[in-house]
């Protein structure tokens, strides 16, 4: 491995400090002065390397979502061959995505939070990444529906809840810590939580009850 150049090194220090501060105080709530001070570098370097504060934001968010989608796609394609087990597919995806978010714990919360804002960047990122996420997840649940393993449950809502189960602990880690005394970023939580998801998946796939179907008539009207 090639040794890191000096520039690359400070670049990463800026990123580390930025993630830390953005995670705590939000994007608008953090100044590049504070970032530079935290990283122990000069203020001007942020503009120099990332083209300003907004460039830094864009870089961080794209990086996270890029890795997120890549992780999802890998887990998706790995299980493509063994078509018999949908639950296994869902569990592998959940496992990988949770591990990924644990790896970049601070960045996760920050990006997820920032994605709830109404900005041009967010809309672009949604169109680029989250649409693909939805597409892949929907495919799995539609396959399950096709095999009659689930019945009469709006697939949209299932996808939404499945995704939310994966993301929520990393969007609200402080809530989970302070109110439930759980640590979303440790291995114990991951194992417990995965079992919980596994249970959920089991329930969903075996549900042959009388839940009234509606594929949400106008859901596709747009």
Q: Are 50 and 136 in contact (CB under 8 A)?
A: no
Q: What does 6 interact with, of DNA, a second copy, none (CB < 5 to 8 A by kind)?
A: DNA
State the number of CA atoms in the 13 A half-sphere of 208 facing the CB.
4
Which window, 3-11, 79-87, 167-175, 212-220, contacts DNA (CB under 7 A)? Answer: 3-11
170 vs 105: CA distance, rounded Å: 7
Question: Residue 1, class by beta-carbon neighbours within 10 Å (0-12 exposed, 13-18 middle, 19+ buried)?
Answer: exposed
Question: Is residue 191 a contact residue for DNA (CB under 7 A)?
Answer: no
Number of residues that bind DNA (CB under 7 A): 23
Q: Determine which residue in the list 47, 55, 203, 208 makes contact with a second copy, applying CB under 8 A.
A: 203
Question: Is residue 199 a contact residue for a second copy (CB under 8 A)?
Answer: yes
Which window, 9-17, 59-67, 84-92, 212-220, contacts a second copy (CB under 8 A)? Answer: 212-220
Nearer to a second copy, 44 or 219 (CB): 219
192 vs 102: CA distance, rounded Å: 14
Question: Is residue 219 a contact residue for a second copy (CB under 8 A)?
Answer: yes
Task: Report CA dihedral (195, 201, 206, 211) to the nearest 10 degrees.
Answer: 130
Site string for DNA, 38-67 (x = CB under 7 A): ---xxxxxxxx---xxx-------------
Q: What does 221 interact with, of a second copy, DNA, none (CB < 5 to 8 A by kind)?
A: a second copy
Q: Are 159 and 131 in contact (CB under 8 A)?
A: no
Phi, psi of 124 (to 5 degrees): -65, -45
84 vs 188: CA distance, rounded Å: 30
Nearer to DNA, 28 or 161 (CB): 28
Which window, 4-12, 36-44, 97-105, 111-119, contacts a second copy (CB under 8 A)? Answer: 111-119
State the number of CA atoms in the 13 A half-sphere of 169 facing the CB.
26
Contact residues: DNA, CB under 7 A: 5-11, 30-34, 41-48, 52-54
Please give the residue ranges that form the binding site for a second copy (CB under 8 A): 23-29, 109, 113, 115-119, 122-123, 126-127, 130-131, 134, 153-154, 156-157, 159-161, 164-165, 168, 171-172, 174-176, 178-182, 188, 192-193, 195-196, 199, 202-204, 207, 209, 211-212, 214, 216, 218-222
């Amino acid at each position: 491995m090639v040794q890191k150049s000096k520039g690359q090194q400070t670049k990463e220090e800026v990123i580390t400090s930025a993630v830390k501060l953005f995670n705590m105080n939000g994007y608008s709530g953090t100044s590049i002065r504070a970032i530079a001070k935290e990283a122990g570098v000069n203020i001007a370097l942020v503009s120099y390397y990332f083209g300003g504060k907004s460039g830094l934001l864009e870089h961080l968010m794209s990086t996270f979502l890029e890795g997120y989608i890549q992780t999802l796609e890998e887990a998706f394609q790995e299980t493509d061959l063994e078509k018999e087990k949908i639950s296994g597919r869902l569990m592998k995806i959940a496992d990988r995505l949770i591990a990924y978010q644990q790896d970049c714990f601070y960045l996760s919360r920050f990006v997820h939070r920032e994605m709830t804002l109404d900005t041009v960047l967010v809309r672009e990122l949604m169109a680029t990444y989250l649409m693909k996420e939805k597409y892949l997840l929907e495919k799995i649940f539609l396959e399950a529906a096709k095999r009659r393993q689930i019945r009469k449950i709006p697939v949209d809502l299932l996808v939404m809840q499945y995704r939310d189960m994966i993301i929520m602990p990393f969007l609200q880690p402080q809530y989970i810590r302070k109110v439930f005394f759980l640590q979303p970023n440790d291995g114990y939580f991951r194992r417990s939580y995965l079992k919980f998801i596994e249970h959920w998946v089991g329930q969903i796939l075996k549900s042959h009850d009388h839940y009234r179907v509606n594929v949400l008539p106008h859901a596709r009207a747009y």
